[in-house]
Amino acid sequence: MRQKRSDQLSFSHIIPNTTIGRELAAISEILEDNPEILELAARDLVGLKRADNGRVGMTAEQVVRSAVLKQYRSLSYEELAFHLSDSRAFRAFARLRMGQCPSGSALQENIKSLSEESWEGINQIIVRYAKQQGLEKARKVRMDATAVESDIHYPLDSTLLQDEIRIISRCLAQGKKLRPVPGYRFSDHKRVTKKCVLKIQNAKKEEAREKTYRKLLKIAQQVMGYALEAIPVLNDFESADLKDMLVARGLADQLERAVYILNRVIDQTHRRVICKEKVPASEKIVSFFECHTDIIQKGGRDTTYGHKVFLSGGVSGLIMDCVIERGNPADSERFTSLLERLGGIYKKIPGQIAADGGFASRPNLKWAKENGVRDMSFSKRKGLSVLEMVKSNWVYKRLKNFRAGIEANISTLKRAFGLTRSTWRGWAGFKQYVWSSIVSYNLSLLARLKLAQS
């Protein structure tokens, strides 16, 4: 059975008394004071590794502490593995046993097993602990939205077609290695596809660019035809080798998904390039690998390919709640649900709330006032008077200045805790990455507040 924590600490678990060491020691103390964090982590880790063979797996405590270290220092898994084997402070913080040096792949397997729900629960435990320590009263909250990128390249129609052709060609080539050889047609068009993409990107005239796009679309349709012919052949594939039969079924599933996405990319490319039609963002495909990615356009700023994230912060700077959205909903549409979440988590809606101008609307103000918010400040009034929102101009100015502080929190999350771009795969991985960054940020901030108190 996987352990939650090490049975006994040793002298090797003493963190050196340096600037970073003192901060890590304060974070360690917070984790020690909240053993229920390990309960959440252990629930996700049960069954990940058998206990009756092989090496002893990482304890739940080691996994949580390693995950915090990864985001706290913005490390890759390989960098984290190196520092855990090389740094005395990191080893002591992670509570690694003598001679225990987890590899990058082992760290990835364990850390990625912590679910979004567990990270969210850990964050709520941390905020409640801050309230108990008197570091955050949760009576005044500021709200804003930001966008976090998915780990994809810039989605040009030509490169999307190239990705699809490459993936389908790879699957078809792999199928030809089975024995007996499946009887479907296949020609490799990756080289001519690459030439078309380069020609499109370097075309100086629209006529030449459109002509090359037509050629690329024709190649894509031909490759899709190969895949449609191969799918039933691979599904019906018979062999004396069971492994080959399983590989064939897996390739058929991959080709079905690839054909579905390629068909949509061909459609959007034809509509946009050939028919000169403006394709709505909701109908666009921007990545084969990260299909969950949304197109986020916020104000007059650059387009972001990722997801919209709503953050609620307190006076201490802690992020009290986070909501990761699908699509690109208007801020004003999510205002009431965000406050209801805060009320449900912390048993009461805060009395003073400062929100970005995007949340402003008369119905939102009315709902806030009816649900116990004394002072509701929007940074842009949008037809609302100051005295409708708050009791005086002075309070409005104070709340407006208070709201601006969440911009600094978001900046720190993006610069120091990797929230600019999620590097974990899939929709579930995206949510896990965002929450792990927020938890690491909150632990770091709370540690500094405790050190300032002492």
Q: Long-range contacts made by residues 179-187, C-beta under 8 angstroms, separation at least 24?
A: 179/239, 179/241, 179/244, 180/239, 182/230, 182/233, 182/234, 182/237, 182/248, 183/233, 184/226, 184/229, 184/230, 184/233, 184/234, 185/226, 185/229, 186/226, 186/230, 187/226
21 neighbors 79 (Cβ within 8 angstroms): no
The percent of residues above 70 in pLDDT, for the chain, comes to 95
Region 71-99 average pLDDT: 93
Of 259, 283, 307, the domain-final residue:
283
Summarised one tens digit per residue, pLDDT across range 149-201 is 999 999 999 999 999 999 999 999 999 999 999 999 999 999 999 999 999 99
247: which residues sit within 8 A by CB, 6+ positions away?
A: 174, 178
Summarised one tens digit per residue, pLDDT across range 255-276 is 999 999 999 999 999 999 999 9
Same domain as 53, residue 139? no
Inside any domain, residue 67: yes
> 324 — phi, psi (to 5°)?
-100, 120
Inside any domain, residue 441: no
Confidence at residue 2, expressed as pLDDT on a 0 to 100 scale: 65
More confident residue, 409 or 10: 409
Identify how many contiguous H helices and E strands the chain contains and give both numbers.
16, 6
Structure tokens at 250: 């897996």
Cis peptide before 180 (omega within 30 of 0): yes
Average pLDDT, the chain: 92
Inside any domain, residue 374: yes
Same domain as 361, residue 304? yes
DSSP 8-state code for residue 371: T
> 43 — phi, psi (to 5°)?
-60, -35
What's the domain range around 196? 157-283
Interatomic CA distance for residues 147 and 153, integer angstroms = 16
> 108 — phi, psi (to 5°)?
-65, -45
Interatomic CA distance for residues 262 and 219, integer angstroms = 12
Of 114, 142, 169, the domain-final residue:
114
Q: Is the pLDDT of residue 51 over 60?
A: no
**Nearest one of 252, 288, 242 to 172, comparing CA atoms:** 252
Tally of domains in the chain: 3
Region 192-214 average pLDDT: 96
Same domain as 423, residue 344? yes
Q: Which amino acid is at 331?
A: D
Summarised one tens digit per residue, pLDDT across range 369-386 is 999 999 999 999 889 999
Confidence at residue 397, expressed as pLDDT on a 0 to 100 scale: 96
Same domain as 161, residue 148? no
Tell me whether strands 140-149 and 294-296 are parallel, antiparallel or unpaired: unpaired
Summarised one tens digit per residue, pLDDT across range 416-451 is 999 999 999 999 999 999 999 999 999 999 999 999
Give the pLDDT band (50/70/90) at residue 10.
low
Confidence at residue 297, expressed as pLDDT on a 0 to 100 scale: 84
Half-sphere exposure of 223 (CA within 13 A, CB side): 32
More confident residue, 441 or 47: 441
Summarised one tens digit per residue, pLDDT across range 307-352 is 999 999 999 999 999 999 998 999 999 999 999 999 998 888 999 9
Inside any domain, residue 436: no
The percent of residues above 90 in pLDDT, for the chain, comes to 85
Give the pLDDT band (50/70/90) at residue 56.
low
